[in-house]
Structure 1
Amino acid sequence: MARRTIAVLALTVVLAAAACTPAPRLVETPVTSPVTDQVDTREVVVGVSSVAGGYNPHQITDQSAITTALANLVLPSVFRSGPDGIPRLDRTVMSSATVTSYDPYTVTYRIRSDASWSDTAPVAAEDFVYLWQQVTDSPGAIDAAGYRLISDINARDAGKVVEVVFAQPYPGWRSLFTNLLPAHLLKDAPGGWDGALQTNFPATAGPYAVKALDTDRGEIVLERSDRYWEEPPVLDRIVLRRADQSGIVDALDAGHDQLALARMDAVGVDLVGELSPAVPTRTVPRPSVSTLVIRPDRPQLTELLVRQAIVALLDRDQLVTAGTGTGPAAALRADAQVLAPSLPGYRSTVPTAAGTATPARHDPALAEQLLTQAGYTRASSGWVRDGQPLDIVVGAAEEREPARRIAEDVRRQLVAAGIATEVLTLPADELYGQLSDTGGNTGDANTLDLAVISQPVGGDQATTLATNFGCAASGEDGQRSAANPLGFCDPAIQPTMDAALSGALSVTDALAAVEPILWRAAVSVPLFQEAETLAVRPEVSNVSLGPPLVGPFAGATAWRRAAG
């Protein structure tokens, strides 16, 4: 603006003097500023679909690609999955971990003396104790069945030697104590376990630390941790930046994002495939299966015939399409209750007998037969019994768009079949609070009849089976009660699951016995394994899919970026 003002004044003077002086020779000198096009090769920006919290990797509520990524980079683990999916001791944290006694069954862990949190507190036995106690007491915790087998934890050598005593043999013990949390900061934190890591990490113990976490702006900045005791990562910073599908494609095209790990439908994958230079894409299966839960503890759904009728009314092909948008996850259709499609040993366990209500067969005629047997009649207003209509409430987490789409399609299908249905979207913590019989913040527990959830899978298979479908002892009388979001507990199959946990029965034999019973119970309708699309621009190297169900961030310390 100053230059324009000077130019106008100068021109005015020239014009005023023009009548008595010769016109001066005007020479136009362009004004230039130095232009730099330097690339920060120490930073990589990753486009993601969401950065929303919480970030507790042990809570079903918080499961997401972001939670998994952050846990890999900022939290310590005793074991981590190798490229073949087999747990391997993480020697950046541990010196050793071995079974040191069989009576009682005891595992002794030795933590490296230099392993510490970012506030200089040591990684120690109290972190093991805190995780054990919280997971055991939380109805919404992942792999809780394994932690429930622990009877005591003892510490030696200033907490750097940890002796974990189990009530019975537990071959799956290597699946425990991943993603340790800073007990010294969290045990007395406001909000307790449910509030832990809701908005940030109070301390970290990994190659990266959280420099900034802004959910409003949709950005998380990770910086190389100065307090990390092992070899530092190659990159100084990793930035996770939220955008919708089209925004991520545009950012990849312009080079503003060098990577993307995002939820994409078929259109998004095709758009990335059209970019030039080429940006390869790969599918990254997640450790979760999108599942429709049919609660057997709800008054209208206690009867098996009614639950089976609902299963027969649903067209699962349509639900899968609604949830995946025919994107990469559509190829990961789930036809088993425990194993996910991407895992070794997976096969379909869906019953095929005629006249059986299974998700593999959309059978409205069978559904009508089952409802009639249950005492319902079809009236102009829908299905009615004893003057009361059959009406259903379907829940979905408001933060998870695929779950909302599935819930709406469930409503559409059931309404078309004569069942009054309402969709209720809740924050994830409230949704899982209701499913876990904690009441969440709604003040009215167990109002949901059906729900679309992300069912955890992977890890030790016997532990997954017992956690997702098993019972837990309630009270000193030894009575069993549901300890899972399904609200399901079958004491008849609990001994089979317990035997698999202890190694007395192979997981293969346990699944062969239990899977048909779970299908017949009509409490869980698996749909598809959730997945993200990984896209990598050519200037970034050393990015792989990562270990099964862990993902590419497991190898982020080796990522490199060229100036390209």
Structure 2
Amino acid sequence: MEEPAPSPETATSSVTPTTTPSRAEAVINVGVDPLPGGFNPHMQSDDSTLTRSLASLVLPSAFRNDAMDEDLLVSAGPVEPTPMAGETLPQTIRYVISPEAQWSDGTPITGADFHYLWQGMTGTPGVIGSAPYREIAAIRTSPDGRTVDVDFVTVVADWQQLFRHLLPSHLLQSDAGDFSSALIDDLPASGGRYMISNIDRSRGVVAVNRNDRFWGKAPAQTDRVTFREIRSVTQGVEQLHTGQISFLDVTPAETSFEAYSLMLDTQVRLLDQPRELTLTMSTSSSLLEEHAVRAELHSLLDVPLIARLAAGRSADLNVPPHTRARSVEQGPPELLPGLTGEEGRPLRLGVDSADDTAIAAARTIVDLLSRFGVAAEVTTTDLADLTGNLLPAGEVDVVIAWERSAGDPVELADQWLCPPTPESPRAGNLSGYCTGETDVMARSLLNGDVEASEGRAFFAGENAREHVLVPLLGERRVLVLGEGIVGPDPDLDNWTAGISTVASWRKQ
């Protein structure tokens, strides 16, 4: 829901404003979850509704909703590949950037920005969607920087998914060595309808202003949008009542839907996002390298219980499909108690120290396992350390983190494509699981030889046999539309996206 670009169409409403607000009044206030650890939409550690929405408002993309962004590009498509080192590569895509396209500091958007993103996506652990970028052999740019030729070592059928949310390379390290850390507290320049004017972590506020250098056909309808942390249902209800916020997009609590639905002149909607808190078993682990041990661990996981305790609620809970957990009455497991007992070591569950939900899930699992005589402990660190160091070194056995779950071809390939080596830093395929069959299927999805439905069925069967991924909790959100906003449609149920469409909103 947060991926679509802001609609260029004029917003509609059953209420027609009689006066146009002044620039000082043209401010929309939105309630959101607590601010994420960073704002890089390509990093798994930063992935959140707010991060994705800000990226759609601030950062330029070659394609949006599978359609070329005509504000950024004049054209994009295959051209005759140029031979390299005596060999003709199978695919070259040429992007021609609009002469007007520029960052908010006046610097042109060029091939250097494409190159920076490619380098970051292939050289940084814990990125989202690295698989197609790993198939790029070279990026060649014309002298003026506006024509960009991307050469691939294999055909990538869904090449339109690449180069979304370009980053301002002129303000970052040329070799993308800062890719995981440069956007912790800011998006330093804009190539979209808005630009970030302030991030105040102490107050939990992100403010964006209309980007006056935006050259496109449909500039933002509202001068300023402020996103404010809402930490409780009581706070959300109060701020909607007083008009301090006009829209809310947050993770629900136990009573959220009931409390917001009681309010007059509000519309409330629950929305599931294609993202799940997932337990991934590492095949680099000395404890879990054997299929039988992974199967036994999976049998001990009570997914509904883990979901409730991780989310801290039982209402409006999105529990993924799961197998029935082993009960104590069925007797103790045969393998894990011995592996983690006096002669072994505890099972180590790695989680991001900034992710409270993942930490709660991990602690619940430790307690569940203890009932079966399995020793386990939680290792908290950042995802960069988990994916770059601890997982490939076998120093953690399991990682619990949020992962995309839409199941499109690129996403499936990213999740199952074999790492370059077992010791390589992890991105996409956090488990390190690799067979000839899974790698062939992942590559077939990338080059379009296999339909997404066939790929989903294949990997679902593989996972059922091998017990690599266990979804624990689906992301469910509550949206609340209060008074004072003219949005994409008068009926909230007809909105195709949430706060990522804020550029088309205006004050009523």
Quickly name the TM-score band, shorter chain normalised: 0.7 to 0.9
Query: In the TM superposition, what whole-angstrom CA distance separates every residue of 1:335-380 from its partner, at most 9, and x where no partner exists?
Result: 4xxxxxxxxxxxxxxxxxxxxxxx41212479857x42x4x6xxxx
Question: Which residue pairs with 1:402 in the alignment?
Answer: 357
Paired with 1:158 and 1:198, the residues of 2 have a C-alpha distance of 31
Contact 2:119/2:175, CA 8 A, preserved across alignment: no
Contact 2:126/2:426, CA 8 A, preserved across alignment: no
In the TM superposition, 1:71-90 aligns within 5 A as: 71-81=55-65, 87-90=66-69
**SS of residue in 1 equivalent to 2:103:** coil
Structure 2 counterpart of 1:274, from 262, 268, 271:
262
**What amino acid sits opposite 2:381 in the alignment?**
L
Whose Rg is larger?
1
**What amino acid sits opposite 1:525 in the alignment?**
V
Question: Which residue pairs with 2:442 in the alignment?
Answer: 497
Matched, 1:363 2:326: yes
Paired with 1:453 and 1:233, the residues of 2 have a C-alpha distance of 34
Query: In the TM superposition, what whole-angstrom CA distance separates every residue of 1:244-280 from its partner, at most 9, and x where no partner exists?
Result: 12322221122211111111123122111112x2321
Matched, 1:559 2:501: no
Tell me the TM-score normalized by structure 2: 0.86
Deviation at 1:71, TM superposition (A): 0.2
Question: Which residue pairs with 1:455 in the alignment?
Answer: 403
Contact 1:328/1:531, CA 8 A, preserved across alignment: no
Matched, 1:257 2:220: no
**What amino acid sits opposite 1:494 in the alignment?**
D
Deviation at 1:559, TM superposition (A): 0.5
Contact 1:168/1:502, CA 8 A, preserved across alignment: yes
**SS of residue in 2 equivalent to 1:142:** coil
**SS of residue in 2 equivalent to 1:473:** coil
Paired with 2:207 and 2:196, the residues of 1 have a C-alpha distance of 6
Question: Which residue pairs with 1:123 in the alignment?
Answer: 109
Contact 2:63/2:69, CA 8 A, preserved across alignment: yes
Paired with 2:292 and 2:457, the residues of 1 have a C-alpha distance of 24
Matched, 1:530 2:478: no
Moved more, 58-67 or 484-493: 484-493
Matched, 1:417 2:372: yes
**SS of residue in 2 equivalent to 1:61:** coil
Contact 1:285/1:530, CA 8 A, preserved across alignment: yes
Question: Which residue pairs with 2:270 in the alignment?
Answer: 283
Paired with 1:526 and 1:367, the residues of 2 have a C-alpha distance of 24
Structure 1 counterpart of 2:420, from 458, 461, 473:
473
Unaligned runs of 5+ in 2: 1-21, 82-88
Structure 2 counterpart of 1:45, from 4, 25, 29:
29
Paired with 1:546 and 1:536, the residues of 2 have a C-alpha distance of 7
In the TM superposition, 1:98-497 aligns within 5 A as: 98-101=77-80, 104-156=90-142, 158-188=144-174, 192-230=178-216, 231-246=218-233, 247-275=235-263, 277-326=264-313, 330-331=317-318, 333-335=319-321, 359-364=322-327, 371-372=333-334, 374=335, 383=338, 387-389=342-344, 391-434=346-389, 437=392, 446-458=394-406, 461-474=408-421, 483=427, 484-497=429-442
Pair 481,397 (structure 1): closer, same or farther in 2 beyond 3 Å: closer
Paired with 1:176 and 1:428, the residues of 2 have a C-alpha distance of 23
Contact 2:349/2:397, CA 8 A, preserved across alignment: yes
**SS of residue in 1 equivalent to 2:71:** coil
**SS of residue in 1 equivalent to 2:362:** helix
Deviation at 1:284, TM superposition (A): 3.6
**SS of residue in 2 equivalent to 1:221:** strand
Which structure has the higher relative contact order (CA within 8 Å, separation 6+)? Answer: 2
Deviation at 1:235, TM superposition (A): 0.8
**SS of residue in 2 equivalent to 1:206:** coil
Pair 386,513 (structure 1): closer, same or farther in 2 beyond 3 Å: same
Structure 2 counterpart of 1:540, from 482, 485, 489:
485
Pair 400,546 (structure 1): closer, same or farther in 2 beyond 3 Å: farther
**What amino acid sits opposite 2:258 in the alignment?**
D
Aligned-residue sequence identity (percent) comes to 27
Paired with 1:110 and 1:200, the residues of 2 have a C-alpha distance of 28
Paired with 2:387 and 2:485, the residues of 1 have a C-alpha distance of 38
Pair 548,414 (structure 1): closer, same or farther in 2 beyond 3 Å: farther
Contact 2:485/2:506, CA 8 A, preserved across alignment: yes
Contact 1:471/1:481, CA 8 A, preserved across alignment: no
Unaligned runs of 5+ in 1: 1-37, 82-86, 336-358, 377-381, 438-444
**SS of residue in 2 equivalent to 1:139:** coil
Pair 136,296 (structure 1): closer, same or farther in 2 beyond 3 Å: same
RMSD: 3.0
Paired with 2:40 and 2:498, the residues of 1 have a C-alpha distance of 19
Pair 191,509 (structure 1): closer, same or farther in 2 beyond 3 Å: closer
Paired with 1:547 and 1:496, the residues of 2 have a C-alpha distance of 37
Contact 1:320/1:527, CA 8 A, preserved across alignment: yes
Pair 163,461 (structure 1): closer, same or farther in 2 beyond 3 Å: same
Pair 451,241 (structure 1): closer, same or farther in 2 beyond 3 Å: same
Moved more, 171-180 or 550-559: 550-559
**SS of residue in 2 equivalent to 1:115:** coil
**SS of residue in 1 equivalent to 2:227:** strand
**What amino acid sits opposite 1:362 in the alignment?**
A
Paired positions, count: 476
Query: In the TM superposition, what whole-angstrom CA distance separates every residue of 1:416-457 from its partner, at most 9, and x where no partner exists?
Result: 1211222233344444444554xxxxxxx6432222201123
Deviation at 1:560, TM superposition (A): 1.5
**What amino acid sits opposite 1:251 in the alignment?**
Q
Paired with 1:549 and 1:514, the residues of 2 have a C-alpha distance of 32
Contact 1:210/1:222, CA 8 A, preserved across alignment: yes
**SS of residue in 1 equivalent to 2:359:** helix
Contact 1:49/1:242, CA 8 A, preserved across alignment: yes
Runs of 4+ in 1 over 6 A off after TM superposition: 479-482, 544-550
Paired with 1:54 and 1:197, the residues of 2 have a C-alpha distance of 6
Deviation at 1:65, TM superposition (A): 1.5
Deviation at 1:520, TM superposition (A): 1.8
Paired with 1:145 and 1:511, the residues of 2 have a C-alpha distance of 16
Matched, 1:96 2:80: no
Question: Which residue pairs with 1:32 in the alignment?
Answer: none
Contact 1:57/1:179, CA 8 A, preserved across alignment: yes
